[in-house]
């Protein structure tokens, strides 16, 4: 717990030793040169003495250099600029031997200088004074010495739920001497970390953006100085695509105008793209784009004029926000056929009206046409001609005749038209309106005679019985009971023998005559 205090004492001891050695070797014994003394007092004996003294001076300087180098090597990495500044000349007791020349000489004579001064020796000298060191807990010592890094933040995950391209700012607060910051990022849920390149990555404030590349991004800040290293808690960005409403698909016939949209997305720029190969490649769409208010050049809606070859095409918005590119949901185009459906009943009888048509959107006008004499001509101009349905009577003159409908479409300033596939009535689908014909009767005079018929149709079926007294040459309406119903009833008379009967059945504009039956009266 007192490790850092000991380090400082080691440094102090090392510096004191270095000063003492420096005092010894920086001021060698005073020698008098031959020029100063004159030549008269120089003898052969004194010359040898000067030479010996000079050699000792050189050896002493070499010893000083070696000791200094060894002391420098033994000073630990814990000696920082801050620590050295604390150990000033005032705080170190300089020996008196460093004061005068006489004492310097005495110090040289009384000091044995060797090359055996080592870090172990210095450390041993320091530990001899260990009982005089006050033991301080490490945290308190760090704070007292001003070297403790304190991060003022929680140890819980901090989540930022951000839309693609949205700016996210993380900040941390730390105190300590000479602290530096380095933000790190993890793309694998914190298993590995690398330095972030986001704005402010070397400050306490990091600015980054939510990206679709990674659903979750983890950030942390490394706070450090020359002696310590601490990490903040983990910050997390959960990126998501933010929208209020989207199109998942559009359906239209060739010529229809359909609209796709991705609403509620915030972006600096939006471009719609399309793909003809299921999303493998994309191209910029030239279709009309408008904003939420319908103004051209917007980014919320795209209007697509459907073509018969567009089935399966994909459209998507490409967004750019704060330099982050991301994409909206794909919108698939489904091209339906241009057929006109017949709103048929289970059975179609001659004279029935058959309704044809199909619903459509954004149509300003419907025009029905009939193929006649090799060209398409508009049907009779009536109210039905401008509706999305048209009733075609099931009459022999219309069986097999082709019809079609043209839809004139206008949608937010765009115009187009859809021409339906031709359709017609098939004779095989139409039935005769007389379901059951009457049969001949043979009865005695005075017996009741009943002739029955059954008609079919949905356009107001009516009956009219007729009688012929000249073997079918002429006909007139019967006056018997039930003459306008499915059953004709009367009493047999002798004069009626050989009379013929028939029924005219009407359904809409179609009339059918039943089989002719004969009455035999016995």
Tell me which architecture the domain covering 245-335 has in CATH: Sandwich (2.60)
The 3-state secondary structure of 285-325, one letter per residue: CCCEEECCCCCECCCCEEEEECCCCCCCCEEEEEEEECCEE
Whether residue 307 is predicted with pLDDT greater than 90 in this model: the reply is: yes
Cα(377)–Cα(404) distance, rounded to whole angstroms?
A: 10
Whether residue 44 is predicted with pLDDT greater than 80 in this model: the reply is: no
Chain-centroid distance of CA 118 in Å reads 66
Cβ(285)–Cβ(276) below 8 Å? no
pLDDT band at 358 (very low <50, low <70, confident <90, very high): confident
- Which of the pair, 479 or 72, is modelled with greater confidence? 479
- Which of the pair, 283 or 114, is modelled with greater confidence? 283
Nearest to 458 by CA among 356, 344, 340: 344
pLDDT score, position 38: 37
Tell me which H or E stretch contains 138.
helix 138-145
Angle, CA 509 vertex, CA 508 and CA 511 arms, to 5°: 95
Torsion of CA 17, 23, 24, 27, to 10 degrees: 160
Mean pLDDT for 466-483 is 95
Chain-centroid distance of CA 318 in Å reads 10
Query: What's the fold here for domain 432-521?
Result: Immunoglobulin-like (2.60.40)
Going by the DSSP 8-state scheme, the letter that residue 281 receives in this structure is: S
pLDDT score, position 87: 39
Whether residue 71 is predicted with pLDDT greater than 70 in this model: the reply is: no
Q: Give the number of other CB atoms < 10 A from CB of residue 155.
A: 8
Cβ(279)–Cβ(314) below 8 Å? yes
Residue with tokens 């300003």: 364
pLDDT digits (tens, 9 = 90+) for 397-454: 999 999 999 999 998 888 999 999 999 888 888 999 999 999 999 999 999 999 999 9
pLDDT score, position 83: 42
- Same fold for the pair 150-240 and 341-429: yes
Q: What is the CATH number of domain 341-429?
A: 2.60.40
For the chain, report the end-to-end CA distance as a whole number of angstroms.
Answer: 142
Q: Is the dihedral of CA 491, 496, 497, 499 positive or negative?
A: negative
Listed by start position, the domains of the chain span: 3-143, 150-240, 245-335, 341-429, 432-521
Least confidently predicted of 120-124, 166-170, 380-384, 388-392: 120-124
Mean pLDDT for 160-188 is 92
pLDDT score, position 154: 54
pLDDT score, position 473: 95
pLDDT digits (tens, 9 = 90+) for 249-292: 899 999 999 999 888 888 888 899 999 999 999 999 988 887 76
Cα(367)–Cα(420) distance, rounded to whole angstroms?
A: 11
Mean pLDDT for 368-392 is 80
The 3-state secondary structure of 163-230, one letter per residue: ECCCEEEEECCEECCCCEEEEEEECCCCCCCEECCCECCCCCEEEEECCCCCCEEEEEEEEECCCCEE
pLDDT score, position 126: 33
Residue with tokens 């769409």: 285
- Which of the pair, 299 or 453, is modelled with greater confidence? 453
pTM over 0.75: no
Cα(322)–Cα(209) distance, rounded to whole angstroms?
A: 8
Whether residue 118 is predicted with pLDDT greater than 60 in this model: the reply is: no
Query: What's the fold here for domain 150-240?
Result: Immunoglobulin-like (2.60.40)
pLDDT score, position 151: 85
Least confidently predicted of 217-231, 340-354, 415-429, 490-504: 340-354
Cα(505)–Cα(515) distance, rounded to whole angstroms?
A: 11
Cα(128)–Cα(379) distance, rounded to whole angstroms?
A: 121
CA–CA distance from 190 to each of 5, 219, 224, 318, 425 (Å)?
37, 8, 20, 31, 72
Cβ(409)–Cβ(256) below 8 Å? yes
Mean pLDDT for 201-227 is 92
Cβ(246)–Cβ(329) below 8 Å? yes
């Amino acid at each position: 717990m007192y490790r850092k205090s000991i380090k400082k004492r080691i440094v102090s001891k090392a510096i004191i030793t270095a000063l003492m050695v420096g005092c010894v070797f920086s001021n060698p014994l005073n020698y008098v040169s031959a020029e100063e003394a004159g030549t008269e007092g120089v003898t052969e004996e004194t010359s040898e003495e000067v030479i010996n003294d000079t050699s000792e001076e050189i050896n002493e300087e070499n010893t000083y250099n070696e000791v200094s180098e060894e002391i420098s090597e033994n000073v630990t990495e814990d000696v920082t600029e801050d620590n050295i500044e604390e150990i000033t000349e005032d705080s170190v007791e300089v020996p008196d031997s460093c004061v005068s020349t006489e004492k310097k000489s005495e110090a040289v004579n009384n000091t044995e200088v060797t090359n055996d001064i080592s870090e172990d020796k210095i450390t041993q000298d320091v530990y001899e004074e260990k009982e005089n060191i006050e033991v301080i807990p490490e945290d308190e010592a760090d704070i007292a010495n001003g070297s403790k890094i304190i991060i003022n933040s929680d140890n819980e995950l901090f989540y930022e739920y951000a839309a693609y391209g949205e700016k996210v700012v993380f900040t941390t607060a730390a105190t300590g001497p000479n602290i530096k910051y380095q933000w790190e990022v993890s793309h694998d849920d914190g298993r590995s970390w690398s330095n972030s390149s986001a704005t402010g990555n070397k400050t306490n404030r990091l600015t980054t953006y939510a990206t679709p590349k990674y659903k979750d991004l983890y950030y942390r800040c490394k706070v450090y100085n020359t002696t310590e290293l601490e990490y903040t808690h983990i910050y997390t960005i959960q990126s998501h695509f933010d929208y209020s409403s989207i199109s998942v698909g559009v359906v239209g016939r060739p010529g229809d105008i359909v609209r796709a949209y991705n609403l509620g997305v915030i972006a600096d720029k939006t471009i719609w793209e399309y793909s003809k190969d299921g999303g493998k490649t994309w191209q910029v769409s030239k279709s009309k784009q408008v904003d939420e208010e319908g103004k051209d050049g917007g980014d919320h809606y795209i209007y697509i004029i459907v073509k018969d070859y567009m089935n399966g095409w994909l459209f998507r918005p490409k967004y750019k926000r704060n330099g982050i590119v991301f994409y909206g949901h794909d919108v698939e185009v489904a091209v339906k056929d241009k057929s006109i459906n017949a709103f048929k009943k289970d059975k179609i009888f001659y004279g029935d009206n058959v309704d044809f048509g199909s619903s459509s959107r954004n149509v300003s006008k419907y025009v029905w046409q009939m193929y006649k004499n090799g060209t398409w001509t508009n049907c009779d101009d009536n109210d039905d001609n401008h509706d999305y349905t048209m009733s075609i009577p099931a009459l022999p003159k219309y069986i097999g005749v082709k019809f079609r409908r043209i839809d004139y479409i206008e949608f937010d300033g765009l115009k187009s038209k859809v021409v339906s596939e031709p359709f017609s009535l098939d004779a095989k689908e139409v039935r005769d309106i007389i379901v059951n014909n009457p049969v001949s009767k043979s009865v005695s005079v005075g017996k009741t005679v009943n002739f029955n018929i059954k008609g079919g149709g949905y356009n107001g079926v009516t009956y009219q019985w007729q009688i012929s007294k000249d073997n079918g040459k002429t006909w007139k309406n019967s006056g018997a009971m039930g003459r306008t119903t499915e059953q004709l009833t009367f009493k047999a008379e002798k004069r009626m023998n050989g009379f013929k009967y028939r029924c005219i059945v009407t359904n809409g504009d179609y009339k059918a005559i039943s089989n002719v039956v004969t009455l035999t009266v016995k």
